[in-house]
Structure 1
Amino acid sequence: MYSYIDQRYEGVNFSGRELRDGELVRCAFERCTFAGASMEEIATSGCRFVDCNFSGALLNASTHAESAFLNCNFTDANLFVAVFNGCKMMGSDFSKAQLDGLTAAGGDWSYTNLRHARLPKQDLRGICLREADLSGANLEKADLRGSDLTRVNLSQAKLKGADLRGALMEGVNWPSVDVKGVRMDAAQAVLFLRAHGAKVD
Structure 2
Amino acid sequence: MCDSGGVHFPDPADPDHDPADPEPAAGHAGASGAAVESGEDYRDAVLSGQRWAGRRFVRCDFTDADLRELATTGCMFDHCDFTRTDFGESVHRNSAFRTCTFDRTMLGDSAWTGCSLLGSVFVDCGLRTVTLTDCDLTLVSLAEAVLRGMDLSGLRLREANLAGADLRRANLRQADLTGTRLNGTRLTEADLRGARLDVRALAAAEMSGTRVDVDTAVLFAAAHGLVVS
1:116 is aligned to 144
1:15 to 40, 43, 47: 43
SS in structure 2 at match of 1:173: helix
SS in structure 2 at match of 1:187: helix
1:138, CA displacement in angstroms?
Answer: 1.4
Contact 1:157 / 1:178 at 8 angstroms: preserved in 2? yes
1:153, CA displacement in angstroms?
Answer: 1.4
Q: Given the two structures, how large is their TM-score scaled by the length of structure 2?
A: 0.82
2:191 is aligned to 163
2:71 is aligned to 43
SS in structure 1 at match of 2:87: coil
Distance 1:142 1:154, change over 3 A: same
1:190, CA displacement in angstroms?
Answer: 2.4
Q: Which whole-Å CA distance do the structure 2 matches of 1:162 and 1:171 have between them?
A: 15
1:67 equivalent to 2:95? Answer: yes
1:3, CA displacement in angstroms?
Answer: 5.5
- Counterpart of 2:99 in structure 1: which amino acid? N
Q: Which whole-Å CA distance do the structure 2 matches of 1:171 and 1:44 have between them?
A: 37
Q: Which whole-Å CA distance do the structure 2 matches of 1:63 and 1:33 have between them?
A: 20
Equivalenced residue count is 200
- Counterpart of 1:57 in structure 2: which amino acid? T
2:182 is aligned to 154
Q: Deviations 1:50-74 (Å, cap 9, x if unpaired)?
A: 1111111111111100100000000
1:100, CA displacement in angstroms?
Answer: 2.6
Residues 47-196 of structure 1: matches in 2 within 5 Å? 47-170=75-198, 172-196=200-224
Q: Give ranges in structure 2 of 5+ residues lacking alignment.
A: 8-33
Q: Give ranges in structure 1 of 5+ residues lacking alignment.
A: none
1:167, CA displacement in angstroms?
Answer: 0.3
- Counterpart of 1:170 in structure 2: which amino acid? D
Q: Which whole-Å CA distance do the structure 2 matches of 1:170 and 1:191 have between them?
A: 9
Q: Which whole-Å CA distance do the structure 2 matches of 1:158 and 1:115 have between them?
A: 11
Q: Which whole-Å CA distance do the structure 1 matches of 2:76 and 2:177 have between them?
A: 24
Structure with higher Rg: it is: 2
Q: Which whole-Å CA distance do the structure 2 matches of 1:180 and 1:31 have between them?
A: 42
1:158, CA displacement in angstroms?
Answer: 1.9
Q: Deviations 1:14-53 (Å, cap 9, x if unpaired)?
A: 1111111111101111111101111111010110111111
Q: Which whole-Å CA distance do the structure 1 matches of 2:225 and 2:5 have between them?
A: 58
Q: Which whole-Å CA distance do the structure 2 matches of 1:38 and 1:94 have between them?
A: 18
Q: Given the two structures, how large is their TM-score scaled by the length of structure 1?
A: 0.93
Contact 2:67 / 2:88 at 8 angstroms: preserved in 1? yes
1:175, CA displacement in angstroms?
Answer: 1.9
Q: Deviations 1:109-144 (Å, cap 9, x if unpaired)?
A: 011110111112211111000111111111111111
- Counterpart of 1:155 in structure 2: which amino acid? N
SS in structure 2 at match of 1:104: strand
Q: Which whole-Å CA distance do the structure 1 matches of 2:171 and 2:206 have between them?
A: 16
1:25 is aligned to 53
